[in-house]
Amino acid sequence: MLYRDPQLREQINRLRASATRSPRQPAAQRMSQASRDGLLTTLRQGVQALRAENHALRLQLSTRIGENRATNHTPVSDM
């Protein structure tokens, strides 16, 4: 129905053409400073949580390795 009117159709085509020519700004440029700060805080908290988890897993691994060595260790007798 809109495309039956030649003037309206031409205006729609012009608007479509102009919209495709102008590239969108990158998300970092569209974000407000408050949004950037919030994202940065969230990312830092995530990194901190991953570091804590990594530390706990390393401790658990070292404990298990020590237990494994203790149970599989057979002392060598002097002969």
* Confidence band for 1, pLDDT divided at 50, 70 and 90: low
**What pLDDT is stored for residue 37 in this prediction?**
94
CA distance 42 to 50: 12
This prediction's pTM: 0.54
Q: Tokens at residue 49, please? A: 């949580």
Left, alpha or beta for 5 (phi > 0: left; psi -120 to 50: alpha)? beta
Q: Tokens at residue 48, please? A: 């901190």
Q: Please state the domain extents for the chain.
A: 34-71
Q: Tokens at residue 3, please? A: 């495309």
Q: Tokens at residue 78, please? A: 């002097």
Q: pLDDT at residue 57 above 60? A: yes
